[in-house]
Amino acid sequence: MNRLNKILPPFAPDYSGVCSVLYGLGGMTVIHGPEGCTGNYTGYDEPRWFGADVETVGSGLREIDAILGNEERLISQIKEAAKRSKPAFICITGTPIPMMTGTDFKGIAAEVEYETGIPSFGISTTGFAYYDAGASAAMLAYTKKFGKIQTQKENTIGILGVNAIDFSHREMLYDLKRECEKRGFSVTASLCMDASPEQIREICSVSVNLVVSGSGLQTAQYLYEKFEIPYVTGIPIGKTASDLVFETVKRSAFDHVCRNVILQPQAAGGRILILGERVMANSIRNCLIADHGISGIQVCSIFTPHPEWMLPGDVHADGEKEIAEAMREKNGALVIGDPLFHRLIPGMQEDTFLDFPIQAVSSKVYRDGQWNLIGERAELFAQEIERKMRRKG
Amino acid sequence: MSDTVFCSCLNYASPARGGWSIVRTALLVPECYQLFIGAPACMRHIVLSSIELGVAERVSCLHLEEADVVLGSYEEQIYEGADELLDSLEPKPKVLMIFMTCIDSLLGTDPEAFLGPLNEKYRETRFIVARMNPIMADSLQPPGTAVQSTMYGLLRKNLQKENSVNFIGNNVAISDENEMIRYLKQNGIAVKHISQFDTFEGFQTMAQSRMNLVAAPVALPAAGELKERLGMEFADCIPCYSKAEILQEYRRVCEGLGLEMADFSREAEEAYQVLSEVATALKGRKVAIDYEATYRPFSMAKLLMEAGFAISRIYTDACASYEEEAFEWLKSRGVDVVVPNLYVKGRSWDEKEQTDVICIGFEAAYLEQSPYVVTLAADGELWGFEGIRLLAERLRAASEKKRSLEKLIDESVLII
């Protein structure tokens, strides 16, 4: 099957995830590729770019250097720039052309680190994978490089998997931290957004981690394996569902068992289809079940698949055709998803679709309509769902 | 003489970086449809910008996967994708531009493998391979140049000539108030620009014109090709910013069309008069210019400085060979030339630290932290003495009104 997109843009790529995670940590992130690659990130995937004092730069790769495998130009460009800006670290991340030429990012980073004395790491993103894969790799690389071994502190929590692509609504992370504090947890660090390098270094000292998107899983697993820090997957959305998330967090902090907060709908999917990032979509479902008693909800993830977080009946759709297919199969259900998905089914009734703009899909096109669903703020969203379901009949 | 490049450094892209994209430029061809082929990442900003511009119904993309690229088994997919796309489009587009992205430079795609069967199946549509490949930015055919050749390569020879001329290379039509355009019209010569046509058939009448007036350096190769292929003469009419150069361009146009050179001294005098009035009114307020605003930032700066404006800074990473004299002139007067793609630590956008520098171009405005912006890209509709008058008026207007740069940038859909 060919992968023709007639309506949807390709989703935010892996290297945008890398840049998003490393934003604001005082380093230099180099997107190794031709100019247009950088434009994706700065123009569409990074909502904080206007006014940013962040050294995310492109290498301006040219054909002759790609063909000849001339990596010296890149290395000398990085050395030159590092001399001027003295970054705290250097990350070199890839795009499609370096993937084709087999660029050794780890080798380049090692050479850069040796020559500049600045901690460096390479991430071999390709531009073919989704942002969450890049975000995940960057978060893990940064944690491994800078995490400090420490004694664990009681009632402290790390939030893993926040980035400006998944949490593009400005107040969402603030509210998420507040929810944690309200439940008696002091937030040590949120990886990797709105956290200082010093805070992130402390991540190995937390008593438990909360994984709020797929991009946080790898780091959570690493911290569990290396430091026995348990993790819970789920976002506190809705009042009762949030209580459940934090009860689970407390249990996991106590017994050191990792858990996912996924409620089983009472009836098979059929009434509601939620399309989106897996942890977010599962957490919305949790809220609808626990807070509003709605049943028959199916979740369809659309980025990197996570079978471990799927319930029986859940699906994964890869690209425009499969998303449209998932929507068609649920004919008559209320679909919750990015407004661009609505265009995939011509003639689809207004009352059978609820706009839930996703930065990694439609970028800033519907940014004003993005929802903050943390805690009780989800109430308005749930009311809108109930209203649509009533009108739909 | 080749261009002088100031810095071959890592590229910082400010939020104000970008201009008319390849997509937007090529969509000036009426009734065409664009299909982009490449890695998903290569096409995200293309599709999103087409949504922002309200032209998404004319743009699609076909993702390749890593395995396709490694194995080189994608020509069949291009055929299938284009076939599926065309099957769903009614009416069929007159032209399907199949845009190959950077990866094609390393793959060596065989276009005949899909063009042949597509031409066979859809006889009412023309299929052409186009390029959006910034990896070739330093070559003789960078994307901005190649797209002009693609667009005007669609013109077919027409022996039935019209008494008209075309402007090519500029994204927006030159103002009708321009003295040369008025003079041409007085002499019965119609002036055409691609943006005035709604149909592909109408666009084809550009092939009947007597001459192409090239309003941007990126279209010079396309003009050369049109001369070779269709026998159309052309004249370099890239907007310039001195009386002598403007008159030289006008002479070229008149000679090419067999017209007597008109006397434009009144228009020149009026334009310089307005320029001088605005310079006086601004009372030494600084002016900065960026390279996205004009193909001749140094010449524009020299014109303004001679008229009494306080030019503070020029943002560009290169000096074109035809600008070297103006560059030297400005340098000797201490005008600062700044490379905008160098990351500068500590730079941000703080509402409280805004300056009152009048900026020609978005990037200059961002880097100067100024809300006083002349929203100009690639010289816009400026040309000749009327262009100078318009520039002066726009400087005056920009100096009087603070604008939200972030909003302006969003509305302008600037693409790198």
Interface with chain B: mutation pick from A3, A116, A125, highest number of B CBs within 10 Å: A3
Contact A94, A17 (CB under 8 A): no
- % of chain A exceeding 90 in pLDDT: 91
**Residue A264: pLDDT over 90:** no
Claim to verify: residue B170 and residue B133 sit in the same structural domain = no
| Residue A150: predicted pLDDT | 82
Per-chain mean pLDDT for chain A = 95
In a domain, B6, yes or no: no
Which of residues 108 through 147 in chain A touch B, CB cutoff 8 A?
126-128
Q: Considering the domain boundaries, does residue B384 fall inside one?
A: yes
Q: Please say which residue of B152, B176, B208 terminates a domain.
A: B152
Task: For chain B, report the end-to-end CA distance as a whole number of angstroms.
Answer: 27
Cα–Cα distance measured from residue B355 to residue B227, given in angstroms and rounded to the nearest whole number: 48
pLDDT of residue A391: 84
Q: Is the pLDDT of residue B1 over 50?
A: no
CA A7 to chain centre: 23
Give the residue-averaged pLDDT of A101-122. Answer: 97
Close Cβ partners of B86 (under 8 Å, ≥ 6 residues apart): B92, B93, B96, B118, B122, B125
| B380 shares its domain with B354 | yes
**Residue B199 in this model has a pLDDT that exceeds 60:** yes
CATH of the domain at B364: 3.40.50
In angstroms, the CA A12 to CA A35 distance is: 16
Interface check for B9 against chain A (CB to CB < 8 A): the answer is: yes
pLDDT at residue B258 tops 50: yes
B384 with B326, same domain: the answer is yes
Chain B 243-262, residues with CB within 8 Å of chain A CB atoms: none
Work out the percent of chain A whose per-residue pLDDT is above 70: 99
Whole-angstrom Cα distance, residue B130 to residue B158? 24
Regarding beta strands B11-12 and A55-58, do their DSSP bridges make them parallel or antiparallel, or are they unpaired?
antiparallel
Tell me which chain B residues have a C-beta less than 8 angstroms from the C-beta of A99. 66, 69
Look at A96 and B84 and tell me if their CB atoms are within 8 Å: no
Q: Are A144 and A126 in contact (CB under 8 A)?
A: no
Q: What is the per-residue pLDDT for A268?
A: 67
Q: Are residues B229 and B288 in the same domain?
A: no
Q: What are phi and psi of B288, to 5 degrees?
A: -125, 150
Q: Which residues of A touch B5 (CB under 8 A)?
A: none
Question: Who contacts A64 (Cβ-Cβ below 8 Å, separation ≥6)?
Answer: A70
Report residue B275 as tokens.
């320029």
Is B144 in a helix, a strand, or coil?
Answer: helix
| Distance in angstroms (rounded) separating the CA atoms of residues B184 and B165 | 9
Same domain, B347 and B367: yes
Give the number of residues written for chain A.
393
Contact A38 B13 (CB under 8 A): yes
Please count the other Cβ atoms lying within 10 Å of the Cβ belonging to residue B252.
17
Residues B143 and B100 in one domain: yes
Report, as an integer, the average pLDDT of B199-214: 98
Cβ-based contacts under 8 A for chains A and B = 198
DSSP-based three-state secondary structure for A259:
strand
Of the partner residues A49, A51, A63, the one whose CB lies closest to the CB of residue B135:
A63
Is there a contact between B345 and A39 if contact means CB atoms under 8 Å apart? no
Mark yes or no for CB contact A2/B69 under 8 Å.
Answer: no
Which tokens sit at B351? 């509402």
User: Distance (Å) from the C-alpha of residue A47 to the closest C-alpha of chain B?
Assistant: 10
Task: Determine whether the interchain pair B41/A10 forms a contact, defined as Cβ–Cβ distance below 8 Å.
Answer: yes
- Of A232, A286, A246, give the one whose Cα is nearest residue A264: A286
Q: Which residues pair with B95 in a beta bridge?
A: B32, B126
Task: Look at residue B352 in the predicted model and tell me its pLDDT.
Answer: 83
Partners of B63 on chain A (C-beta within 8 Å) are 3, 5, 10, 319
Interatomic CA distance for residues A282 and A293, integer angstroms: 15
The answer to whether residues B345 and B213 belong to one domain is: no
> Hey, which residues does B130 pair with through a beta bridge?
B99
pLDDT per position as a tens digit, A163-190? 999 999 989 999 999 999 999 999 999 9
Q: Could you say which residues from 70 to 89 on chain A have a Cβ atom under 8 Å away from some Cβ of chain B?
A: 77-78, 80-81, 84-85
Residue B272: alpha-carbon gap to chain centroid:
26
Please report residues of A whose CB lies closer than 8 A to that of B17: 39, 42
Residues 316-375 of B with CB under 8 A from A: 342-343, 345-350
Decide which of B191, B222, B257 is a domain's last residue. B257
The verdict on a CB contact (< 8 Å) between A36 and B134 is: yes
Q: Which of A36, A81, A365 is nearest residue B9 as measured by Cβ atoms?
A: A81
A77–B60: do the CB atoms touch at under 8 Å?
no
Q: CB distance B44–A44 less than 8 Å?
A: yes
B116 domain-assigned = yes
| Residue B17 covered by a domain | no
The residue among A390 and A186 whose pLDDT is bigger is: A186
The residue in chain B having the minimum alpha-carbon distance to the alpha carbon of residue A6 is B60
Q: What is the DSSP letter of A330?
A: T
> Tokens 């929810």 sit at which residue?
A179
The strands making up A3-5's β-sheet, listed across from edge to edge, are A3-5, B59-63, B32-38, B95-101, B126-132
Residue that the structure tokens 């002066």 belong to: B392
- How near does any CA of chain B get to the CA of A357, in Å? 14
For every residue of B289-319, DSSP letters joined together read: EETTT-S-HHHHHHHHHHTT-EEEEEE-SEE
Mean pLDDT of A252-261: 97
Residues B247 and B355 in one domain: no
CATH code, B241: 3.40.50.1980
Cα–Cα distances in Å, from A19 out to A27, A78, A113, A222? 10, 16, 19, 21
The contacts of residue A8 (CB under 8 Å, 6+ apart) are A319, A320, A323, A340, A341, A344, A361, B47
**Could you give the CA distance from residue A280 to residue A234 in angstroms, rounded to a whole number?**
7
Closest CA to B340 of B304, B297, B374, B300: B297
Q: Do A60 and B61 touch (CB under 8 A)?
A: no
- Tens digits of per-residue pLDDT, B83-98? 999 999 999 999 999 9
The overall average pLDDT reported for chain B is 95
- Look up residue A121 and give its amino acid: F
Query: Which amino acid, one-letter code, is at B266?
Result: R
Nearest CA in chain A to B415: A39
The most distant pair of C-alpha atoms in chain B lies apart, rounded to whole Å, by 66
The helix/strand/coil state of A215 is: helix
What would the pLDDT profile of A268-302 be if each residue is shown by its tens digit? 667 999 999 999 999 999 999 999 999 899 999 99
Of B223, B257, B291, the one marking the end of a domain is B257
> In this structure, are B229 and B270 located in the same domain?
no
In degrees and rounded to multiples of 5, residue A24 shows phi and psi of: 80, 10
ipTM of the complex in this document:
0.95
Q: What is the signed CA dihedral for B85, B90, B95, B101, rounded to 10 degrees?
A: -30
Strand order of the β-sheet with A208-211 is A186-191, A156-160, A208-211, A231-233, A259-260
With beta carbons under 8 A apart, name residues in chain B contacting A15.
41
Classify residue B20: in a domain, yes or no: no
Number of domains chain B contains: 3
Output the six-digit token pair for A322: 């499969």
Contact at CB, B135 and A66, closer than 8 angstroms: yes
* Residues of B whose CB is below 8 A from A2: 62, 77, 80-81, 84
Place of tokens 């003079």: B183
Write out chain B residues lying below 8 Å of A367, CB-based. Answer: none
**Chain B contact set for A7 (CB, 8 A):** 56
Residue located via tokens 């063009």: B115
Q: Say whether A50 and B18 touch across the interface (CB within 8 A).
A: no
Q: Are residues B388 and B338 in the same domain?
A: yes
Q: What is the pLDDT of residues A84-96, one digit of tens each?
A: 999 999 999 999 9
Smallest CA-to-CA distance from A208 within A244, A261, A154, A146 is with A154
Please indicate, yes or no, whether residues B326 and B269 belong to a single structural domain of this protein: yes
pLDDT tens digit string along A11-54? 999 999 999 999 999 999 999 999 889 999 999 999 999 999 99
Of B15, B47, B342, the CB nearest to A42: B15
**Residue at token pair 């001339």:** A70
Per residue in B9-50, pLDDT tens?
999 999 999 888 999 999 999 999 999 999 999 999 999 999
Q: What CA–CA distance (Å, rounded) separates B40 from B65?
A: 8
Chain B nearest-CA residue for A26:
B345
pLDDT value of residue B346: 86
Among B318, B357, B373, B256, residue whose Cα is nearest residue B16: B373
Please check whether residue A327 is in contact with residue A302, taking contact to mean a CB–CB distance below 8 angstroms: no
Domains contained in chain A, CATH given = 14-129 (3.40.50.1980), 148-260 (3.40.50.1980), 272-392 (3.40.50)
Crossing angle of helices B40-52 and A14-22, in 10° steps, is: 80
Residue of B nearest to A13 (CA): B41
CB-CB contact of A162 with A233 (8 Å):
no
Picking from B346, B396, B392, the residue whose alpha carbon sits closest to that of residue B369 is B346
> Which residues of chain A does B86 touch, with a Cβ-Cβ cutoff of 8 Å?
none
- A91 in contact with B, Cβ within 8 Å: no
% residues pLDDT > 70 (chain B): 100
d(CA A369, CA A339): 10
pLDDT for B62 beyond 80 = yes
Measured in angstroms, the CA of B21 and the nearest CA of chain A are apart by 10
Chain B CB within 8 Å of residue A49 CB: yes
DSSP string, B31-71: TEEEEEEE-HHHHHHHHHHHHHTT-GGGEEEEE--HHHHHH
Quick check: B98 contacting A, CB < 8 Å?
Answer: no
Query: In angstroms, what separates the C-alpha of B5 from chain A's closest C-alpha?
Result: 14
Using the beta-carbon criterion (under 8 Å), do B70 and A100 form an inter-chain contact? yes
Suggest the residue from B44, B55, B80, B139 to mutate for an interface test with chain A (most A CBs closer than 10 A). Answer: B44
The identity of residue B392, as a single letter, is: A
d(CA B155, CA B143): 19
Longest dimension (CA), chain A: 67
Residues of chain B numbered 118-177 and touching chain A (CB < 8 Å): 132-139
Is residue B4's pLDDT more than 80? no
DSSP conformation letters of A97-132: HHHHHT--HHHHHHHHHHHH-S-EEEE---SSSBHH
Domain membership of residue B124 as a residue range:
30-152
3-state SS, A316-356, equals ECCCHHHHHHHHHHCCCCEEEECHHHHCCCCCCCHHHEEEC
**Inter-chain residue contact B15 with A50, CB threshold 8 Å:** yes
Single out the residue of B88, B84, B311, B127 nearest to residue A1, CA to CA: B84
Per CB-CB distance under 8 Å, the chain A contacts of B66 are 99, 126, 128
Residue B404 within a domain: yes
Please give the Cα distance from B315 to B290 (Å, whole number). Answer: 5
Q: Which of A128, A131, A344 to mutate to test the interface with B (most CBs of B within 10 A)?
A: A128
> Out of B51, B60, B134, whose CB is closest to A34?
B134
Name the residue in chain A with its Cα closest to that of B82.
A4
Q: How far apart are CA A193 and CA B62, in angstroms?
A: 33
Mean pLDDT of B322-327: 95
Contacts with B133 from chain A: Cβ below 8 Å:
34
Same-domain check for residues B39 and B145: yes
Kindly give the pairing relationship between strand A334-337 and strand A315-316: unpaired
User: DSSP alpha helices (H): ranges in B53-204?
Assistant: 66-71, 75-88, 104-107, 112-121, 143-152, 179-186, 200-204
